[in-house]
Structure 1
Amino acid sequence: MDFVAPESPQEKAVTLTSGNFWPAINTAEFREQMRIDGTVTQKRLLPALKNALIETHRILFQWQQQEQRLGYTTLDSIPAQTIQEGDLRESELVYLHRRAVFCLAKASLTERYRDIDTTPNGSKKADALDPTIDDLQRDATWAMQRIQGTTHNIVELI
């Protein structure tokens, strides 16, 4: 049995911002929460996070506009339940935003990295990742629906 220790990232953490309304996203926090090791370089990680921010904010654009018309200038200023962890208090909306972005970025990275091993075993591993990618996309969708105050029903016509 071979064991390969995951590489730790060598790059400095980067903070991504997307306007004043949305909270910043930190690459180190993303790596830690989503278990992304150093095999995913910063040059590949950043586009995945940027795309996830773009997709999340496009889906939430009309909702954001509505909240801004009500006078809320940041996501954190919107009245919402808070989650307390020790001395840290966080709006559930901020948490859900981060969850949506992180899940979309991880799904994108998983889709792209599953083709590294092209042996028959690698093909089986890639097929096994499909449910994980679907789960991440579902979790992102649910987080965005919760932010908008809607239920997370997904209906597909067959």
Structure 2
Amino acid sequence: MTTFNAIEAPTLTPETAPPAGELIVANVAWFPSIDLAHMREAVRLVGTVTTARLRDAAIAAIDEVNRELQAWRAPLEATGVASLAELPADEIGGESVQLARYRRAVYFLARADLTEKYRDFDSTKSGAADAAEVETTIDADRRNARQAINDMRGVARTTIELI
């Protein structure tokens, strides 16, 4: 049975904290860069996720989201929209909802990836219950990311067909 050990951010002191530039993952020019410190706080990464592991997960998530949005982005660029920040959208809290959706997609895909990698093996009854809870968390994170991507593209979240 698989179980989950809590992921808690290590305490960073001025001596152990990475340089500020290492906490930002630069993105392609059209999409925003990702602030790892903000990601760590926003998705409540608890445990021993190192900055290096977080960075790798963020890069993989950025790549996946960017690829999924490539076909949506191309016509926008062709009409002169130079970046996601320039795309006309509602602003909430002083920020474009499109930027917030992009970050949400990246953050939740990265957390799902990290959660999958931080599982341990445990054959106890409580371990089985913890494993089921982790699967639910991973699925919810992936669902949240997909919903954010669909919201960006203006695609319905649910498709229902009669069979």
TM-score, normalised to structure 1, is: 0.85
Matched, 1:114 2:119: yes
- Shift in Å, 1:40: 0.6
Aligned to 1:8: 11
1:101 to 1:27, Cα distance in 2 relative to 1, 3 A = same
Q: Specify which of 96, 100, 105 is matched with residue 101 of structure 2.
A: 96
Identity %, equivalent residues: 33
Aligned to 1:62: 71
Matches within 5 A, 1:5-44: 6=8, 7-9=10-12, 10-12=16-18, 13=20, 14-37=23-46, 39-44=48-53
Which structure exhibits the higher relative contact order, with contacts defined as CA atoms closer than 8 Å and separated by 6 or more residues? 2
**CA distance in structure 1 between the aligned counterparts of 2:75 and 2:148, rounded to whole angstroms:** 18
- RMSD of the TM alignment (CA)? 2.0
Structure 2 unaligned blocks of 5 or more: 1-5
Q: Which amino acid aligns with 2:11?
A: S
Superimposed CA distance per residue, residues 50-88 of structure 1 (whole angstroms, 9 cap, x where no aligned partner): 10000000000011111101110110100000012xxxx
- Shift in Å, 1:119: 4.7
Q: Which amino acid aligns with 1:113?
A: Y
CA contact (8 A) 1:8 1:38 kept: no
**CA distance in structure 1 between the aligned counterparts of 2:72 and 2:108, rounded to whole angstroms:** 20
- Shift in Å, 1:154: 5.2
**CA distance in structure 1 between the aligned counterparts of 2:128 and 2:117, rounded to whole angstroms:** 13
- Shift in Å, 1:18: 1.6
Superimposed CA distance per residue, residues 7-37 of structure 1 (whole angstroms, 9 cap, x where no aligned partner): 4244325101221100110110001011113
**CA distance in structure 2 between the aligned counterparts of 1:133 and 1:155, rounded to whole angstroms:** 24
Q: Specify which of 126, 140, 148 is matched with residue 143 of structure 1.
A: 148
Matched, 1:74 2:74: no
CA contact (8 A) 1:114 1:125 kept: no
Structure 1 unaligned blocks of 5 or more: none
**CA distance in structure 2 between the aligned counterparts of 1:30 and 1:154, rounded to whole angstroms:** 30
Report the 3-state secondary structure (helix = DSSP H, G, I; strand = E; otherwise coil) of the residue aligned with 2:146: helix
CA contact (8 A) 1:56 1:100 kept: yes
Query: How many equivalent pairs are there?
Result: 147
